Amino acid sequence: MKDGIRRELGKAPLKVFQWFCRPEYHRDIEGDLIELYQDRLDEKGPGYANLMSWIDVALLFRPSIIKPISLFNPLKGPFMLKNNLKIAWRQLSKNRFVTLINLSGLIIGMTAALFIWQYVHFESSYDKFHEKSEQIFRIRTDRINDGVPFMQFAGGTAGAAPLLKKHFTQVDDYVKLRGAGEAVFSYEYGRSVRLDRVFFSMPSLFDIFSFSLVEGDEETALSEPFFACISQSTAKKLFGDEDPIGKTIMHNNSRKLQVTGVFADVPANSHIKFDILISYITFTDVIAPDAPTETSMTWDGYYSYVLLQPGTDWQDLESRIPAAIEQDYDPEIASMVALYLQPLEDIHLNSHYLFETEVNGNQRVVQFLWLIGISVLLIAWFNYINFSTANSEVRAREVGVRKVLGGTQRKLIYQFLTEATLLNIFAIAVSFLLVWLLQPFFERLIGQPVSLSIFSETNLLMITVAVLLVGTLLSGLYPAFFLSSMRPIKVLKAGAGGSQRPQSKWLSKGLVTLQFIATVILIAGTFIVNRQLKFLQDTDLGFEVDQTLIVKGPKSTDSTFVSKSNIFKQQLEQLGSVRGVAASTSIPGQAFGWTAGGVQRVGAAEDQSQSFHVMAADVEYADLYDMELVAGRHMSTEMGSDESIACLLNETGAALLDFSSPEDAVGKEIEFWGDRFMVVGVLKDFYQESAKSDIEPLVLRARPPQWDADYYSVKMSTDQLGSTLASVEESWQKVFPEDPFEHFFLNDHFNTQYESELRFSRIFSLFSGLAIFVSCLGLFALVTFTTERRKKEIGIRRVLGAKISGIVRMISMDFVRMILLALILATPLCWYAMNLWLEGFANRVNIPWWYFAIAGSITLIVALLPVSLQSIRAALLNPADTLKNE
C-alpha cells in the first residue's frame, strides 16, 4: 500500500464470476476473492494478484458452483428484458395512434421489400444451378457490313464452336443446339402435343450443363439419328403412366423418333427451356445432308456453348477469336462475321439479341425495382425515427423521472430499443404472413412464377431477417440515444419544450426531405413510364391488325400440300364474311424469321451487297394488311408474273440499296440467293414486331406455292367473328384432318406485345403508390405532433389577433420549403435514372420538364392536405382551452 492509495480488485473478474455463480454463494466467495487479492497484493504486487484472481475465477467455473441453466434468464440480468417488454407494451398500447401509423408503415414497407427482394433474387438466380455455370460461355454472332454490325444474333454460326475448340486449348468441350421449330408430336391415335420448345442437341449437353436424365443413358441417349429425350411433363402428356423409354413417337406425322431418355422439367430459372431434345445428328446427317454444319461461318442460329477450363481469362480468349477466324476462312467471310462470348449467368438479364431462346429479363428493371423496394422500407424506418423523436415531449417527463430515480442512460437505451424491436418484430411477422398470402396476386402482377424462396431457402431467409433486424436496430438507435440523453433537470423543470434539441429538428427535417425526394422521383417516374408506354401503344405500326384471324399452318406437309393449301384458301375466300386470305412466313408481331446476306441491285459490284430481313408472303399480303405504299404498286394476282418474280422493299431497304428515291427503286431488279426479283413497289416503313425496336431493311418476296405456309392471315369484313371462326375451323378439319386447328386473333396478340412494359408500369405504379402512402402517413403524424406542441403558441397568437389563415401558413411554410428543396434535388436524379431506362427503347419519348413540376405539385398537394387539416384544427381550438392549463 504505497502512497496510501488503496488498490482494489478490478470489477471485471467479479462480474464474470457473478454471471455464472449460484446467487446464494457469490457474496461470500467474492469476499474470499477480494481478501486473497489483498493478501497477494501485499505479498507480490498488483500484476500477480490480478492474474491470480483471474485464475481463481476460472477455476471456480465448476459444476457445483455454476448456477443451474434455468437461472440464466434473459428476461432478467442487465437488459431487464421482462421489465422492458412490459413497459414497451404499455407504451405501444397507450399511444395507439402512433403505434398504428408506425406499424402500418413498417408492414407495408417490409412486405413490399420482401416481394421485390424475392423477385430480384429469382431474376438473378438464372442459370446458377449449373454446377459449372461459371465456366460456361455462349458464343454469339455479329453480322458485319462495311465494318458496322447490323445484325446481332444470340446464337453462333454453325462453325463457331468447333472453331474455338480447334484453336484454343482452354476450350474443354462444346455443345450446339438448334431450334427445331414448333411441331406436333404424337403417340398412338389421339395422343398428341404441340410443342415449340424443341431443339436438336448434341449429347455433350449433359456433360456441360447440369441437366440430367431421370431415365435413360446420358452417354448414348442423343448419339444416334432419330433419338429423342423428352421432359417428364411431356412424357406424362404423351404416355400417361406408360414407360416412355424405347417407344416411338411421330414428329409432325412424318418422322419417327425413338424415345431414349426422360429429363426433369427444365427449371423456371434457365434461359433455355426445352420439352423435347432430338439428337443433333438427326439434323446434320439426315435433315440437311452434306451441309457444312461443322464449318459454315455464314449459317446462323446455332446456340453454341463452350466449357472453358477453370480460371481461363475469357476476355483474352474472346479477343483472339478474330485471328482464328482469319486463319481458317477467306478474308471476305472473316470480315463479315464477329464472334463474342457471353458468360452463362449474364445471359438472362443482359442479353437482348436476335432470336434469344426466350424473352430475357432486364437488368435495369430489376435494379429499379430493387431501389423502389429499398425506398419504401427506408421511408418506413425514417417515419419511425421521426415519430419517436417528435414524440419526445411525451416521453421527456418519463425519462426525467427514471433518471432521477437512478436509471442510467444505458438502461434507458435498452428500454427504447426494446420498444423498437417489439414493434419491428411484429411488423416482420405480419409481413411474412402477407407475402405468403399475397404471393399469387404478385405473380399475376409480374406475369411470371416466382418461387417463395424466402421460405424455402434458409440462406435467403437468414439474410432477410438479418437485414430487417439490423434496420430495426439502426432505426431504433437514434431515438434511443436521443431520448435517453435528455437531462432530467431540464425536462422536469421546463416541461416538454425544453427537451427539443436543435440538431434533432435538423435530422427530422432532413429525413422528411429525403422522403419527399423519393416521393417526387417515384411520381415523376410513374408518369414517365406510363408516357413511354402510351407512346409505344399509340405509335402507328404501319398495318391494320383488327379483325384478323391467324391460323397456324399445318406442320405435316407432303406432296399434296400445294393443292390442299389452295383448296383451304379458296374455301375461306368463298365465305361471305372473309375479305381475303394470305399465307406467309411471318406475321406482324413476329420476327421476320429469315435474313439474307448478299442482297444487291442487279449489275452492281459484288462488294455492294447488303443484308436484309426476308419474308415470303402471298401476293395479297401487303394489301390485306393495308400497308401503305410510298411508290409503285402492291403485288397482285392479276399480274401473272408477280407470283414468281415480284418483291416489295421497305423505305429503309430502298435507301440501303442506294436508290435515290422510292420511285427510283420501282421497276428495278435486285438479286439474292441466286434469284432475281423485280421491285414492284416500296412500302412505307412499318414496325414488324413493335415500336420498341428499330426498323430494319426488308425484302417482302412473293411466296412460291410449294413453300410451307407458317401462317394464314384471314381478314374478316364483318364483326361476326364467332360464326366465321366456326366456318374456318370446319374447312380446316376437312382439308388438314391430321393437324390441330390453332388460331388467334391478331389484335389479342398485339395487346400482349407491350406486356413487359405494362407489367413494369403496374409494378412501378403500385410500389410508388405504397411509398407515397407510407410517407404521407409519416407526414400526417409529424404534423399532428408539431401542432400539438405549438398549441399554446397558436393560442397566444390567436388571442393577439392572428388570423386562422396566417397560422395555417406559418405551419405549412416549413413543409413547403422542404418540398421545394426535395423537388430541386429530385429532378436531376430522376431525369438521370429514367433516361437509363429509356435507353432500352429504339423509339422513346423525351422527358418534358413540366413532368417534374406536376410531380412536385402533386407531392405538395398530398403533403399539404394533412398539414393544413391539422393546422386548421389547431387554429380553431378555443385559446381559452389551450391556455388555461398552466
Partner 1 sequence: MYFTTLQLGINMKKYQLGEFEEIVLLTVGVLYDEAYGVAIKKEIVDRLGRKVSVGALQSALRRLEKKGYLSSRKGETNSRRGGRPKLYFQITSLGQRALEHTRESRNQLWDAIPQAALKLKPAH
Give the integer Cα–Cα distance in Å for 197 and 268: 13
Q: CB under 8 A: which stretch of 62-70, 563-571, 582-590, 848-856 binds partner 1?
A: 62-70
Q: Using an 8 Å Cβ cutoff, are 23 and 71 in contact?
A: yes
Q: CB under 8 A: which stretch of 61-69, 123-131, 295-303, 486-494 binds partner 1?
A: 61-69
Please list every residue from 589 through 648 that binds partner 1, using CB under 8 A: none
Q: CB under 8 A: which stretch of 58-66, 411-419, 459-467, 671-679 binds partner 1?
A: 58-66
Q: In the bound complex, what is the minimum distance in angstroms from residue 55's beta carbon to partner 1? A: 7
Q: In the bound complex, what is the minimum distance in angstroms from residue 71's beta carbon to partner 1? A: 16
Nearest to partner 1 of 44, 873 (CB atom): 44
Nearest to partner 1 of 33, 771 (CB atom): 33
Please list every residue from 739 through 798 that binds partner 1, using CB under 8 A: none
Q: In the bound complex, what is the minimum distance in angstroms from residue 49's beta carbon to partner 1? A: 13
Which of 40, 49, 60, 249 binds partner 1 (CB under 8 A)? It is 60
Instruction: Identify the bridge partners of residue 184 per DSSP, sorted by sequence position.
Output: 194
Q: CB under 8 A: which stretch of 60-68, 279-287, 304-312, 854-862 binds partner 1?
A: 60-68
Q: CB under 8 A: which stretch of 54-62, 92-100, 191-199, 308-316 binds partner 1?
A: 54-62
Q: Using an 8 Å Cβ cutoff, are 767 and 111 in contact?
A: no
Beta strand pairing call for 646-650 and 675-683: parallel
Residue found by looking up cell 401473272 in the block = 640
First-to-final CA distance of the chain: 59
Rg of the chain (C-alpha set): 38
Phi, psi of 753 (to 5 degrees): -70, -25
Residues near 457 by beta carbon (within 8 Å), at least 6 away in sequence: none
Which of 16, 20, 56, 530 binds partner 1 (CB under 8 A)? It is 56
CA distances in angstroms from 219 to 216, 263, 289, 296, 305, listed in the order given:
9, 14, 24, 27, 18
Give the integer Cα–Cα distance in Å for 545 and 213: 44
How does DSSP classify residue 497? Answer: G
Closest by Cα among 396, 510, 593 to 782? 510
Q: CB under 8 A: which stretch of 63-71, 358-366, 435-443, 499-507 binds partner 1?
A: 63-71
Nearest to partner 1 of 10, 495 (CB atom): 10
Using CB under 8 A as the binding criterion, the count of chain residues that bind partner 1 stands at 25
Q: In the bound complex, what is the minimum distance in angstroms from residue 56's beta carbon to partner 1? A: 4
Q: In the bound complex, what is the minimum distance in angstroms from residue 28's beta carbon to partner 1? A: 4
CA distances in angstroms from 137 to 178, 312, 815, listed in the order given:
16, 11, 54
Closest by Cα among 204, 181, 205 to 194? 181
Name the grid cell of 517.
425526394
Q: In the bound complex, what is the minimum distance in angstroms from residue 479's beta carbon to partner 1? A: 39
Helix (H, G, I), strand (E, B) or coil at 715: strand
Q: In the bound complex, what is the minimum distance in angstroms from residue 393's beta carbon to partner 1? A: 43
Q: Using an 8 Å Cβ cutoff, are 358 and 166 in contact?
A: no
Nearest to partner 1 of 39, 330 (CB atom): 39
The yes or no reply on residue 814 touching partner 1 (CB under 8 A) is no
Nearest to partner 1 of 33, 691 (CB atom): 33
**Residue 590 CB burial class (10 angstroms; 0-12, 13-18, ≥19):** middle
Nearest to partner 1 of 31, 240 (CB atom): 31
Over the window 4 to 43, marking each residue x when it contacts partner 1 by CB under 8 A and - when it does not, the resulting string is ----xx---------------x-xxxxxxxxxx-xx----
Q: In the bound complex, what is the minimum distance in angstroms from residue 60's beta carbon to partner 1? A: 4
Nearest to partner 1 of 58, 799 (CB atom): 58
How does DSSP classify residue 284? Answer: I
Which of 51, 55, 429, 433 binds partner 1 (CB under 8 A)? It is 55
Which of 3, 5, 43, 59 binds partner 1 (CB under 8 A)? It is 59
Q: In the bound complex, what is the minimum distance in angstroms from residue 43's beta carbon to partner 1? A: 12
Residue found by looking up cell 433486424 in the block = 469
Q: In the bound complex, what is the minimum distance in angstroms from residue 48's beta carbon to partner 1? A: 15
Instruction: Identify the bridge partners of residue 304 per DSSP, sorted by sequence position.
Output: 139, 176
Give the integer Cα–Cα distance in Å for 416 and 425: 14
The residue ranges that bind partner 1 (CB under 8 A) are: 8-9, 25, 27-36, 38-39, 55-56, 58-65
